[in-house]
Amino acid sequence: MEFASDNTSGTAPEIMAALSAINAGYAPSYGTDPAMDRVRAMIREVFEAPEAAVYLVNNGTTANSLSLATYCPPWGAVYCHDTAHVELDECGAPEFFIGGGKLVKVPGEHGKMTPGALRTAIGATPQGFVHSVQRAVVTLTNTTEAGTVYSAAELSALCAVAKEFGLPVHLDGARFANALVSTNASPAEMSWKAGVDILSFGGTKNGCMGVEAVVLFDPAKAWEFELRRKRGGHLFSKHRYLSAQMEAYLTDDLWLRLARDANNRATELEAAILSAPGASPLYPREANMVFASLPRGRHRRAMAAGAHYYLWPHDATLDGPDDQPVSARFVCSWCTTEAEVDAFAALIHGRD
């Protein structure tokens, strides 16, 4: 019963097979491998973006940080949601790669910005004033850290605000696949057609061993990104092992099937949790994460039986009365099974 994170899941068999196959013989290094040529073509086709520049890195922090650094000078402001991964979970990496910069937090319910809040935050940053940072870039997250999903229309509205101020938009898509399958939109509609300039396209949380693509829909910044990737120590020499993962991930819509399985298990898990006595939702469930409160005694019972997940926020504890509600985050992955969900449901409902 593993619901701690989609990062705790293994690697999908199709991707492991691709890694084994690419391991034979020799291949050109540093991203000049034939598999990377195929990956670039596949991503351009998936996103309907024939001119896009595509690069691979091994984790989301790198993808986000290098992307933001490409668009933000050391004296620039990055506008992000106040619960964004770049703000809370990247140990200052964006600021490090930017060489300074300032993350400006934008509030919003359920992990989502609103156009009004974004406009207020940008407008509050003085321009041409030497004592202030200067507006540089907006970063959005989809799926959000609260497990909610921006629709294509919501993304378009936020990007329109950014464009009012002449700002580029970065999208943290560590769980882009989970967001996409929860909507009826296309990858293009959820990215560049909405106004996104650069995308961190996640694979690691959704069945890959460790690979993310950075997609620059405006290739004018491509060379700068390449240089930053190399200078930052994130240009893999044996690059074919990144390429093999992404190629398998995109083949026959594997990435969408894996995300759909994760979302489906989360739907079932949410129903099981919210039907337990004393349970209540914390945020709407729109992808593969469930945020909900349960009486502390039910948490104790589940965890004692081997269920693994995080209380939320992280400083919440199991100390206190059994009937007191405590919030938690439950994450389903591509390999979460119905049996795991059923076993957890039995525990929190008090069934042996």
Residue 159 maps to a domain: yes
For residues 78-93, b (16+ Cβ closer than 10 Å) or e, as one string?
bbbbbbbbbbeebeeb
Determine the average pLDDT of the residues in 343-348.
96
pLDDT of residue 275: 97
Mean pLDDT of the region 217-239? 98
Whether 215 and 307 share a structural domain = no
pTM beyond 0.85, yes or no: yes
| pLDDT tens string 254-265 | 999 999 999 999
Does pLDDT of 248 surpass 80? yes
Query: Which pLDDT does position 16 carry in this prediction?
Result: 99
On average, the pLDDT of the chain sits at 98
Q: Directed axis angle between helix 254-274 and helix 338-348, to 10°?
A: 10
Q: What is the pLDDT of residue 350?
A: 85
The answer to whether 73 and 47 are in contact (CB under 8 A) is no
CATH number of domain containing 164:
3.40.640.10
Residue 3 lies in a domain: no
pLDDT at 330: 99
Cβ atoms within 10 Å, residue 310? 15
Above 70 in pLDDT, residue 134? yes
- Averaged pLDDT for residues 224-228: 99
What's the confidence (pLDDT) of residue 351? 67
Q: Write out the two tokens for 183.
A: 């909507």
Domain count, the chain: 2
User: Do the domain assignments include residue 327?
Assistant: yes
The tens digit of pLDDT for each residue in 70-116 reads 999 999 999 999 999 999 999 999 999 999 999 999 999 999 999 99
Q: What is the CATH number of the domain that holds 294?
A: 3.90.1150.10
CB count within 10 Å of CB 10 equals: 12
| Percent residues over pLDDT 70 in the chain | 99
Residues 197 and 147 in one domain: yes
**For residue 212, is pLDDT > 60?**
yes
Write phi, then psi, for 313 (nearest 5 degrees): -70, 175
One domain for residues 185 and 266: no
Both 45 and 146 in a single domain? yes
Phi/psi of residue 129, nearest 5 degrees: -115, 115
Average pLDDT over residues 147-164: 99
Instruction: Give the pLDDT band of residue 51 (cuts 50, 70, 90).
Output: very high
266-284: pLDDT as tens digits: 999 999 999 999 999 999 9
Name the residue range of residue 90's domain.
13-252
Is there a domain that residue 215 lies in? yes
- Does pLDDT of 164 surpass 70? yes
4 occurs within a structural domain: no
- Name the more confident of 317 and 199: 199
Structure confidence at residue 314 (pLDDT):
84
Do 317 and 284 share a structural domain?
A: yes
Helix (H) or strand (E) holding 18: helix 13-22
Do 209 and 309 share a domain, yes or no? no
Q: What's the maximum distance between 2 C-alpha atoms anywhere in the chain?
A: 67
- pLDDT-derived band at 315, boundaries 50, 70, 90: confident
